[in-house]
Amino acid sequence: MGRPFLNPYLDSVGAPDFQKGCNFAAGGSTILPANAASTSPFSFGVQVAQFVRFKDRVLKLLAKDKKSQKNLPLQDYFNQGLYMFDMGQNDIDGAFNSKSEDQVIASFPAILSEFEAGIKRLYTEGARNFWVHNTGPLGCLPRIIATFGTNPSKLDQLQCVDSHNRAANVFNSQLHDLCTKFQGQFPDANLTYVDIFSIKLKLISNFSQYGFKQPLEACCGYGGPPLNFDRRIACGQTKVLNGSTVTGNPCNDTAEYVNWDGNHYTEAANRYVSGEILAGNYSNRLPLSINTFTFLL
């Protein structure tokens, strides 16, 4: 695509270049406001607030000093840019730690209400182009299978945890409805909904067709087949376990694996997923060319 990696919003060292865009994402973040048990304090509402502050500061700097244009987006970029979202999985994942499947699903309206409030706030700030990913097959992550799939009756035909994938499908259905409603309310907006769940499930279901050998086993971890995942030893860690020193080592060929560390996909898998996204075959509208957008968020 010829695009540089976007500088994160919090990157203030070395005069970061925000002309092409700004990254507000945070690992482990949720749509719902963070609490004491959250992995990241930068929930969706915080990220939206950071964007509002970023835009305000940029416009003030541009008005004050024209030299700032070298590293900052122009005012029109905020209206013309593409706003990209990939959230929700951490909310579902965390909810299953303390709730039943029915209780998890019952929490979705509150989660999606928070998301709706966020994108509406962005719309009032001038955002018009939205790119929304639904959530992937959570139940096919090695970490989830190792934790919730010890009873074979809990697994589906792909050996993924049924409850987590059912919940993800319900969430995605409600997210799709929200996106359809939003587009109807704001016809001058362009919202593209991308079915990430189907893309990733297709990859896992037909892994050998796409050159992979291991659909559910983590490349980097400890424990060996079938999952190579032990929550006590993360990828790259060395610990003493049962009197022996063990290490979560990477596999020899990452290109053979769909999953990297029990939680994330490998570069090879992400390359396949990104290709399907950009082809537009899993979108609710004609694919937008990323390269037509001067500014990405």
**Predicted confidence band at 160 (pLDDT cuts at 50, 70, 90)?**
very high
- What digits encode the pLDDT tens for the residues 214-240? 999 999 999 999 999 999 999 999 999
Per-residue pLDDT at 296: 75
Q: How many domains does the chain have?
A: 2
Per-residue pLDDT at 17: 87
Task: Give the domain extent around 148.
Answer: 1-195+282-297
Give residues with Cβ within 8 angstroms of 177, minimum separation 6: none
End-to-end CA, the chain: 16
Whether residue 182 is found in the same domain as residue 291 = yes
Give residues with Cβ within 8 angstroms of 26, minimum separation 6: 40, 42, 47
**Predicted confidence band at 10 (pLDDT cuts at 50, 70, 90)?**
confident
Tokens of 184: 């109807």
The model's pTM: 0.94
| Residue type, position 282, single letter | Y
Whether residue 244 is found in the same domain as residue 119 = no
Residues 162-166, mean pLDDT to the nearest whole number: 99
Distance, in Å, from the CA atom of 292 to the CA atom of 286, rounded to the nearest integer, reads 14
Share of the chain above pLDDT 70, in %: 95
Whether residue 176 is found in the same domain as residue 213 = no
Whether residue 289 is found in the same domain as residue 148 = yes
Per-residue pLDDT at 19: 86
For residue 221, what is the enclosing H or E element?
none
Whether residue 171 is found in the same domain as residue 208 = no
Whether residue 152 is found in the same domain as residue 237 = no
Whether residue 231 is found in the same domain as residue 153 = no
**Predicted confidence band at 284 (pLDDT cuts at 50, 70, 90)?**
confident
Per-residue pLDDT at 289: 62
**Taking 60 as the threshold, does the pLDDT of residue 286 lie above it?**
no
Whether residue 250 is found in the same domain as residue 147 = no
Tokens of 125: 């700030």
Whether residue 20 is found in the same domain as residue 135 = yes
If one compares 165 and 69, the residue with the highest pLDDT of the two is 165
Whether residue 39 is found in the same domain as residue 131 = yes
**Taking 80 as the threshold, does the pLDDT of residue 290 lie above it?**
no
Whether residue 90 is found in the same domain as residue 114 = yes
How many angstroms from the chain centroid is the CA of residue 89? 7
Whether residue 178 is found in the same domain as residue 54 = yes
Distance, in Å, from the CA atom of 112 to the CA atom of 19, rounded to the nearest integer, reads 31
| Largest Cα span, the chain | 64
